[in-house]
Amino acid sequence: MEQAPWQRTAAGAGLLGADGRLAPTIFAEMTALAAATGALNLGQGFPDEDGPRAVLDAAKHAIDHGCNQYGPGRGSQELIDAVVEHQRRFYGIGLGRGDVLVTAGATEALAATMLAYLSPGDEVIVFEPYYDAYAAVAALAGAVLVPVPLAAPDFQPDPDRLLRATSPRTRMIVVNSPHNPTGTVFTEESMRHIVRVAERRDAIIVTDEVYEHLVYDERHVPIATIDAARDRLVSISSAGKTFSVTGWKIGWIMASPERIAQIGAVKQYLTFVNGAPFQPAVAAGLRLPDEHFDTIVQSFTRKRDILARGLRKAGFQVHDARAGYFLLADAAPLGVEDATDLARRLPELVGVVGVPLSALARPSRRDLRSTLRFAFCKSDDMLGDAAGRLAGLRSALAPVV
């Protein structure tokens, strides 16, 4: 049977099951495997420790004080104001209240933005490996995904490859920096090049900055600080990673009032509104003093280092992560060619779960085949335990003679 355009995009990204429909993600499979085997789940990127007490208490307070019904379509005024303040405080960016739209996480922000601007046949540039929702939503919009490979060791975009990947049909460039899953941070030079390419093709730039406060040795610099980007920019962030509240799903879009209206028109038919009591709580989080944001960085730097040491000791080649929740670990030095196969066996071999990097890239990316992604957004104890278990991997893999 002939494939619909959305199926061609989804199939190219490896998202379809044998029945031609979207299949459950490998993350669901690996999380189920962790639950079934009791293995330590370093597959999915959610913290196992609560975020700041003040933020949790603010949500409870909002629930206790009647903030439990549909709120304003653009989001609560308190959160909108807090986002405006946050952008000025951290980046010197001046926004107005009309430049912000609150969404059900960054994921809905991305979905509403893509659905607002993409028509069937339009091309969307993404940097690969990529957060899997980009491919799925591009497919749902009938658009064509055009991945630009990021390669080890630094995972920076190659300027020529980016330019060559564009065409007169390029409608959107999705920029995820700090980047999941590589932990890379695009250099200012890379970002300026992306802006030039977008200008040349008259494309919209959509940024996904959910890891903005999890950058370890430097400070995050949004593309929005580049003046030339402003008119074509839709910036997205969310609270989940910064405040360890991934289950709350509070995100936001920052763009011109005209774009906010266009994207908001789509969002109203996706969720209409969401998370009323969590919105003032996230506002409280964004207004926390600087020490809090410094503590997040220190704590995640320590966690990254515990896991990196454990993975290296276990025999993986570990790529440096400058940001985010994840470490990439190549199992080739352990004699492993297929990380998907290893991921399925890892719980039984050593009681740890990771995901194969191939889940976040096209099947043709052979250079990523032997690499796994491990999340370090876990308690120090759990990471220490995981490191101890992984130390037994080499002998568990050795053929029995």
Ligand X SMILES: Cc1ncc(COP(=O)(O)O)c(C=O)c1O
Where along the sequence are the contacts to ligand X (CB under 6 A)? 45, 105-107, 131, 176, 180, 208, 210, 238, 240, 246, 249, 251
Enter the DSSP assignment of 323. B
Least Cβ distance, residue 185 to ligand X (angstroms): 13
Least Cβ distance, residue 238 to ligand X (angstroms): 3
Determine the angle formed by the axes of helices 132-140 and 5-12, rounding to 10 degrees.
Answer: 170
d(CA 137, CA 115): 8
> 240 CB contacts (<8 Å, ≥6 apart)?
105, 106, 210, 246, 247, 248, 249, 250, 251
In terms of CB distance, is 251 or 277 closer to ligand X? 251
The string of DSSP letters for 98-133 reads: GGEEEESHHHHHHHHHHHHH--TT-EEEEEES--HH
> 135 CB contacts (<8 Å, ≥6 apart)?
9, 10, 13, 15, 126, 145
In terms of CB distance, is 99 or 108 closer to ligand X? 108
Determine the angle formed by the axes of helices 339-350 and 26-37, rounding to 10 degrees.
Answer: 20
Least Cβ distance, residue 133 to ligand X (angstroms): 7
Least Cβ distance, residue 209 to ligand X (angstroms): 9
What 3-state DSSP class applies to 191?
helix
Determine the angle formed by the axes of helices 257-270 and 105-117, rounding to 10 degrees.
Answer: 110
In terms of CB distance, is 131 or 216 closer to ligand X? 131
Least Cβ distance, residue 276 to ligand X (angstroms): 17
In terms of CB distance, is 166 or 244 closer to ligand X? 244
In terms of CB distance, is 235 or 389 closer to ligand X? 235
In terms of CB distance, is 46 or 293 closer to ligand X? 46
Least Cβ distance, residue 248 to ligand X (angstroms): 9
* Minimal CB distance residue for ligand X: 105
